Amino acid sequence: MKLDEYMKQQDLTDEGFGERIGVNRLQVFKYRHGRAKPREEVMQKIHDESGGQVTANDFYNLSQQAPQ
C-alpha cells in the first residue's frame, strides 16, 4: 500500500505522521508524492507504524516475480 493511501485511510496529516516516525511534515509530503525515498531507518519506522501495510517495495515498485 502506498504511504499516501495509508495516511488517507487513517486520516493522518503529514505533521502527525511525521511526529510518529521522527521526521518533519515536509519530508512526509515528499515521501507521499514520490519526491523522496526514505532512508532505511525511516523506512523501518514507516513499516512499523503502518503495521506492515507500507513497505519498501511501495516506494521502489519492485516486481514480485523472480527473475527468469
What letter would DSSP give residue 66?
P
Tens place of pLDDT for every residue, the chain, 68 residues?
A: 999 999 999 999 999 999 999 999 999 999 999 999 999 999 999 999 999 999 999 998 776 655 56
CA distance 19 to 62: 28
* Per-domain residue ranges of the chain: 3-59
26-29: long-range pairs with CB below 8 Å, 24+: 28/3
User: What's the topology of domain 3-59?
Assistant: 434 Repressor (Amino-terminal Domain) (1.10.260)
pLDDT of res. 63: 65
Q: Name residue 12's amino acid.
A: L
CA distance 27 to 14: 8
Q: Whole-model pTM?
A: 0.87
